[in-house]
Amino acid sequence: MHKRARLILVLSALALLGLLVTPEVARADPPTPLNPLTSGGESIRNLFNLVLIPALVVFFGVEGAILYVVLRYRRRPGTVAEPAQIHGHTRLEVAWTLAPAAVLAMLFFWTVQTLESVQAVPPDALRVEVIGHQWWWEFRYPDLEITTAGELVVPVGKPVRFDITSADVIHSFWVPELAGKVDAIPGQVNVTWVEINEPGEYAGGRGRDEHLHGQCAEFCGMAHAYMLLRVKALPPAEFEAWVERQQAPAPEELTGLAAQGRDLFVNGFCQACHTIRGTSAQGSIGPDLSHFASRDLLASFLDNTPENLRAWIADPPAVKPGTKMPKYLLSPEEIDALVTFLKAME
Ligand SMILES: [Cu+2]
């Protein structure tokens, strides 16, 4: 019995050690808030570390005291009397009320300080409205008159302000390396901001490719797990060029298959839900497709290749179970025409 107790104790200690070592091993690849790219992310990481230290002291102090008392005062054969009791010991009780209160007051102070610095949006920040939908992210740049989806393009070295809300249920906007999670709540706008200062940092190394990756972080229904997003941080000149391209209207000079696709899109059911600026398609249920071909991401989680696009248009729910874009009966020729048309929307 004694031996087994000791074995259990040793195994528990090893498991605890394993827990402490694991983050070190796992850190290499996945995006992590412990490796932030913005001043707001850094403040939050610093607060995390600041909270972690007292938390570890308290954890090991309390667990150590429990272990000590359990072993030292356990019932042994032959002992009958209860150990000395400390109930009603005024000085001890005052001490263990005041000590946690002091620790909590400190944490409260640090947290409020961090909150204030994280929420102080610079007045010259570029404004982006971030709108959660089941199950994709919409990005509107009201001052630039641009609307995109899935892929958030921002300039490097400039503050960017996010006005975050939702069109349906509660979502949560989260790009681990940028800033804290912010809930997207229908009827309410939550504000946060970032400034990414290191251009070129993102080529490789961070996330699975050159982009920063984000994820809806509040369960929002069937396709929640597919509700990803990507952030592209461009140097100022490249960002300007991107803005100009996005502001341009749809190309008018389409011929052949692309022109057929446009007619199908604009006169068929696609226009009921999608907008393509410069055409009569002005639907607003689904993503704005004005410059769909310039995006790397399709339906929030796929690479925007012609093969994936063909599969998507043929049967969206088969590609993304739960999606609100229904399946339509289209001939292979019609799908080809739509794919060619959408691929021309650069
Ligand atoms: Cu979600």
Confidence band, pLDDT 50/70/90 cuts, at residue 204: very low
**CA–centroid distance for 89 within its chain:** 50
CB 131 within 8 A of CB 140: yes
Torsion angle of alpha carbons 294, 297, 303, 309, nearest 10°?
A: -70
User: Mean pLDDT, to the nearest integer, of 166-191?
Assistant: 92
Coil, helix or strand at residue 193: strand
12 has a pLDDT exceeding 80: yes
Look at residue 111 in the predicted model and tell me its pLDDT: 93
What percentage of the chain exceeds 90 in pLDDT? 59
Distance from Cα 185 to the centre of ligand 1, integer Å? 12
User: Mean pLDDT, to the nearest integer, of 189-209?
Assistant: 66
User: Mean pLDDT, to the nearest integer, of 184-190?
Assistant: 96
For residue 138, the surrounding DSSP H or E stretch is: strand 136-141
Distance from Cα 232 to the centre of ligand 1, integer Å? 21
Distance from Cα 65 to the centre of ligand 1, integer Å? 42
First to last CA, the chain: 73
User: Mean pLDDT, to the nearest integer, of 207-221?
Assistant: 79
Question: Domain boundaries in the chain?
Answer: 31-71+88-120, 126-246, 256-343
Higher pLDDT, 257 or 4: 257
CA angle 208, 212, 215 (to 5 degrees): 95
Distance from Cα 319 to the centre of ligand 1, integer Å? 18
Higher pLDDT, 244 or 118: 244
Distance from Cα 221 to the centre of ligand 1, integer Å? 7
Over residues 304-343, the pLDDT tens digits come to 999 999 999 999 999 999 999 999 999 999 999 999 999 9
For residue 214, the surrounding DSSP H or E stretch is: strand 212-215
Distance from Cα 135 to the centre of ligand 1, integer Å? 7
- Alpha-carbon distance 29 to 43, whole Å? 22
Question: Under CATH, what is the fold of the domain 256-343?
Answer: Immunoglobulin-like (2.60.40)
Distance from Cα 219 to the centre of ligand 1, integer Å? 4
Distance from Cα 322 to the centre of ligand 1, integer Å? 12
Distance from Cα 57 to the centre of ligand 1, integer Å? 35
Over residues 141-162, the pLDDT tens digits come to 999 999 999 999 999 889 999 9
Torsion angle of alpha carbons 147, 328, 341, 223, nearest 10°?
A: 40
Question: Under CATH, what is the fold of the domain 31-71+88-120?
Answer: Helix Hairpins (1.10.287)
Lowest-pLDDT choice from 117-121, 197-201, 300-304, 317-321: 197-201
CB 149 within 8 A of CB 294: no
CA angle 320, 322, 328 (to 5 degrees): 75
DSSP-assigned states of every residue in 105-131: HHHHHHHHHHHHHHH---TTPEEEEEE
Residue 33: CB partners within 8 Å, gap ≥ 6? 41, 44, 45, 48, 176, 177, 180
Look at residue 21 in the predicted model and tell me its pLDDT: 61
**Residue 191: count of CB within 10 angstroms of its CB:** 13
User: Mean pLDDT, to the nearest integer, of 261-269?
Assistant: 92
Distance from Cα 326 to the centre of ligand 1, integer Å? 20
Distance from Cα 170 to the centre of ligand 1, integer Å? 8
Lowest-pLDDT choice from 32-36, 45-49, 183-187, 253-257: 32-36
Q: Is the pTM of this model over 0.95?
A: no
Distance from Cα 278 to the centre of ligand 1, integer Å? 32
Higher pLDDT, 210 or 295: 295
Distance from Cα 226 to the centre of ligand 1, integer Å? 8
Confidence band, pLDDT 50/70/90 cuts, at residue 14: confident
Distance from Cα 339 to the centre of ligand 1, integer Å? 28
Distance from Cα 286 to the centre of ligand 1, integer Å? 17
22 has a pLDDT exceeding 80: no
Look at residue 87 in the predicted model and tell me its pLDDT: 86
Distance from Cα 299 to the centre of ligand 1, integer Å? 14
| CATH number attached to the domain at 126-246 | 2.60.40.420
Distance from Cα 133 to the centre of ligand 1, integer Å? 9
- Alpha-carbon distance 114 to 46, whole Å? 9
Residues 310-321: b if buried by 16+ CB within 10 A, e if exposed: ebbbbebeebbe
- Alpha-carbon distance 299 to 107, whole Å? 41
Burial class (CB in 10 A: 0-12, 13-18, 19+), 105: exposed
Distance from Cα 195 to the centre of ligand 1, integer Å? 25
Coil, helix or strand at residue 161: strand
Q: Give me the chain's average pLDDT, please.
A: 88
Domains 126-246 and 256-343 share a fold: yes
Distance from Cα 178 to the centre of ligand 1, integer Å? 18
- Alpha-carbon distance 59 to 53, whole Å? 10
CA angle 137, 143, 144 (to 5 degrees): 75
